[in-house]
Amino acid sequence: TTFLTFPTLYIMLPHSDDILDILNESPRWIVRIGATVISFILILFLGGTWFIKYPEVLKGAAVVSPDAPTIQVMAKSDGRLMRILVSDGAMVKKGDVLAEMENLSSLDDTRKIEQLLVKGYQFVKNPNTEIVFSGDTLWGGDFQPHVARIEQNYRLYRWLMTDSYYEQKLASIQNQLKAQKKIITVNTQRKSLTESEFRNITAAYQTDQKLLEEGLYSKSEFLKRENEYLEKQRETTGMEEHIIKSQLSVAQLQSEYNSVMFEFETKKRDYLMA
């Protein structure tokens, strides 16, 4: 076994003996003064705790800030506060009923009205929705007139949709319209035939008129032909008059139909939106 040996290095500091003397010497006067000061402070502290007494109750103004700030809620109506419906410290959310104010409506009436409003909105969107009323006309308090109007409009709408008055009236007008249009079609065909006959009679009348002027046709025979010509002319004009009257009847019936339909739709809208 081989051992390696290294030379020892000594570092010589200048004035090392003086430094050691300073470090080894005790600063007795600093220690004595420091111990005295510390002891004096401890004695003062202990004496103060013995003689000085702090009151258990302090009087003064203080501001307490909770984590969740308080929100002021304003009543939507005037009156005395009847009862608070939530307990102190309870968690509430927007829209919750917190208290009951003095009024003619009870809290149960309010719940019924809320249910009625929900049914009413459903009825407006879908008129086939059925609403069942209690039959008691005394409930509702301040809302009683509004409840009565809702019930009245609902029943009127139901009557309007189930009664056959408007349906029969509109059907009658439609039948009259169809009849008048058929009359116009028939008269138009008759007018076409009458105009063809009138053209033939006009041609014969003009021929007889020339023969009369040439002395080849008797006056009496010409007068018969002229009467036939005038009669067919009146008949043609009369057919045109009948067609115009039928067209006016169609226009009047169409206007009456639109008026009845407008009245029906207006009542439906009024009963739904009132």
Exposed/middle/buried for residue 154 (C-beta within 10 Å: 0-12, 13-18, 19+): buried
pTM: 0.49
What is the rounded distance in angstroms from the CA atom of residue 227 to the CA atom of residue 215?
20
What is the rounded distance in angstroms from the CA atom of residue 127 to the CA atom of residue 122?
8
CA torsion angle 248 252 258 260 (round to 10): -160
Q: Going residue by residue through the chain (274 aa), what tens digit of pLDDT does each one get?
A: 444 444 554 445 555 566 666 656 655 666 667 777 788 788 877 776 766 666 666 677 777 666 666 677 777 767 777 777 788 778 888 877 777 776 666 666 677 777 777 887 777 777 777 887 766 654 556 667 777 787 888 888 888 888 888 989 999 999 999 999 999 999 899 888 888 888 888 888 888 888 888 887 788 888 888 888 888 889 888 888 989 999 999 999 999 999 999 999 898 888 777 6
What domains appear along the chain, each with residue ranges and CATH number? 81-162 (no CATH), 165-273 (1.10.287)
Closest CA to 120 of 162, 141, 150, 160: 150
Burial code of 73-90, b = ≥16 C-beta within 10 A, e = fewer?
A: eeeeeeeeeeeeeeeeee
